Amino acid sequence: MAGSLIGGLASSMADSDAHAEVAMMVYEPDSARAHQLEQDFNVRLAASNEQLVAKNDVIVLAVKPQVLRSVLEPLASEFAARKPLIVSIVAGVRAASISSWLQADHAVIRVMPNTPALVSAGAAGLYANEAVTEPHKRLAELLFDAVGISCWVAREEDIDSVTALSGSGPAYFMLFIKSLIDAATAAGLDPHTAKTLALQTAKGSVQLIDDSGQPLQTLIDGVTSPKGTTESALKVFQAAGLSHIVSDAFEAARLRAQQLAKDLDPDN
Ligand SMILES: NC(=O)c1ccc[n+]([C@@H]2O[C@H](COP(=O)([O-])OP(=O)(O)OC[C@H]3O[C@@H](n4cnc5c(N)ncnc54)[C@H](OP(=O)(O)O)[C@@H]3O)[C@@H](O)[C@H]2O)c1
C-alpha cells in the first residue's frame, strides 16, 4: 500500500510543478525493497525510523496494525521534538492510540485507502483529529488524490463505515462480477468473452452513473422494461433479499472494524 502511494505521488509530482517542493524519504527494513523504491521513484532512503522522523514534516504510517505499537513507542522523543503531521493508513488503530503510544498529543490524520490505489483509482476516507490544521488537510489530500479520490469524514467512528464501504468494497464488486462471469460461462459463453463483457458492463455502468447525473433508481428503471429480461433478473435478486444481504454484509464489516480496533488497543 505504501508502495502504491509512493508511486502515485511520484508520478503526480512528475506531472505537476505544484508538487515541486515535496520530497519523499522512506524507511523500509528490507534493503533490497528499499533500493528498488529508490531506483523506481527517486525517493531518499532513511537509515532508520529515528532518522526519518527527525528529518520530515509529514510521516505516513504504513506498517501492519499488529506491529505499529512496537514501531512507535521507541520513537516518542523524535516525534515530540519534530511534531510532524502523522498520516496513518494502518487499519483499525485509533488516533488516540497513536498519541498514547507516543506519550503526547499529535496531529493525526487517519486514512482508509483501498487497493485500486495500486492503479491510481483508489477511494480514500480521511478523518482528522483536533490538532490537525487546514494546511495539514491539504497535504493529506495531495497524497491521496495522487492515487484516486479522497473524502473527509466528520467522526472517527465513520472510518469504520468507510472500511465497510470502500476499504472492503473492491472485494464485494469483484465477487459480484465473478458470479456473473461464472453464470455466463456455465450457460456456455466462453470465459474470455464472459469476462470482457462483464468488466466493460461494470465500467460502463459506473461511467453512465457519473456522466448522466441521474438518480440510480431512474437509471435502473431505464434498463428495466416491463415483463423484460432485466425485470426477471431483478425479481430474483429481490426475492433473495439482496438489499438486506448487502446491508448485513456492510454491518458485519463495520462491526469487525470496531472489534479489531478494540483488540489492538483495549484502552482507547
Ligand atoms: N492492503 C490493503 O488493501 C490496505 C487497505 C487499507 C489499509 N491498509 C493498511 O496499510 C498498512 C500496510 O498494509 P500492506 O498490505 O501494504 O502491508 P505490507 O505489505 O506488509 O507493508 C508493510 C510494510 O511495512 C514494513 N515494515 C515492517 N516493519 C517496519 C518497521 N519497523 N519500520 C518501517 N517499516 C516496517 C514492511 O517491511 P517488511 O515486509 O520487510 O517487514 C512492509 O514493507 C496496514 O496497516 C494495513 O492495515 C491496507
CA of 105 from ligand 1 middle (Å) equals 24
pLDDT at 11: 82
Residue 268 within a domain: no
Instruction: State the total domains in the chain.
Output: 2
Whether residue 45 has its Cβ less than 6 Å from ligand 1: no
**Whether 217 and 252 share a structural domain:** yes
Distance of CA 261 to the CA centre of its chain: 17
Residue 144 pLDDT more than 90?
yes
Q: Could you tell me if 203 and 236 lie in one domain?
A: yes
Structural element, H or E, at residue 36: helix 31-41
Question: 47 CB less than 6 Å from ligand 1?
Answer: no
Q: Is 49 in the pocket of ligand 1 (CB under 6 A)?
A: yes
The residue contributing the CA closest to ligand 1 atom 14 is 1
**Ligand 1 pocket, mutate which of 38, 63, 68, 162 (most atoms under 8 A from CB):** 63
Among the three residues 159, 179, 211, which one is the final residue of a domain in this structure?
Answer: 159
pLDDT band for position 19 (cuts 50, 70, 90): low
Residue 24 to residue 197: CA distance in whole angstroms: 41
Residue 164: inside a domain: no
Q: Is the CB of 115 under 6 A from ligand 1?
A: yes
- For residue 210, what are the domain limits? 169-259
User: Is residue 264 included in any domain, yes or no?
Assistant: no
Average pLDDT over residues 132-143: 94
Does ligand 1 have an atom closer than 6 angstroms to the CB of 62?
yes
Residue whose Cα lies nearest atom 27 of ligand 1: it is: 63
Question: Are both 203 and 142 inside the same structural domain?
Answer: no
Q: Which of 159, 185, 201 is the last residue of a domain?
A: 159
Query: What is the CATH number for 184?
Result: 1.10.3730.10
Q: Same domain for 80 and 200?
A: no
**What digits encode the pLDDT tens for the residues 31-68?**
999 999 999 998 999 999 999 999 999 999 999 999 99
Q: In the prediction, which pLDDT does 18 show? A: 57
Number of helices (H) and strands (E) in the chain: give both, helices first: 13, 7
Question: Which pLDDT score is estimated for 15?
Answer: 74
Q: Are residues 176 and 105 in the same domain?
A: no
Give yes or no: residues 207 and 76 share one domain.
no
- Taking the CA of residue 67 as reference, the ligand 1 atom at the shortest distance is 28
Does residue 126 form part of some domain? yes
Query: Does a structural domain hold residue 265?
Result: no
Interacting residues of 148 by C-beta distance below 8 A, sequence separation 6+: 8, 113, 116, 117, 120, 121, 122, 123, 124
* Residue at a domain's end among 105, 140, 159: 159
Out of 20-24, 187-191, 199-203, 204-208, pick the least confident: 20-24
12 and 130: one domain?
Answer: yes
CATH number at residue 76: 3.40.50.720
Q: Which residues contact 155 (CB under 8 A, 6 or more apart)?
A: 127
If asked whether residues 8 and 125 sit together in one domain, one would say: yes
Same-domain pairing of 44 and 117: yes
Ligand 1 atom nearest to 29, measured from its CA: 40
Is the same domain home to 125 and 181? Answer: no
Q: Do 240 and 119 have their domain in common?
A: no
Q: How high does pLDDT run on average in the chain?
A: 94
What confidence tens digit (pLDDT) does each residue in 213-251 have?
A: 999 999 999 999 999 999 999 999 999 999 999 999 999
Q: Are residues 138 and 8 in the same domain?
A: yes
Q: What atom of ligand 1 comes closest to residue 63's alpha carbon? A: 24
Check if 51 has its Cβ closer than 6 Å to any atom of ligand 1.
Answer: no
Q: Are 159 and 168 in contact (CB under 8 A)?
A: no
Would residue 250 count as lying in a domain? Answer: yes
Rounded to a whole number of angstroms, the distance between the first and last alpha carbons of the chain is 25
C-alpha cell at 67: 506491529
The pLDDT of residue 61:
97
CA of 255 relative to ligand 1 center, distance in Å: 23
Please tell me whether residue 198 adopts helix, strand or coil conformation.
helix
pLDDT reported for residue 7 = 87
Does the model's pTM come out above 0.75?
Answer: yes
Beta strands 108-112 and 122-128: pairing type?
antiparallel
CA of 187 relative to ligand 1 center, distance in Å: 42
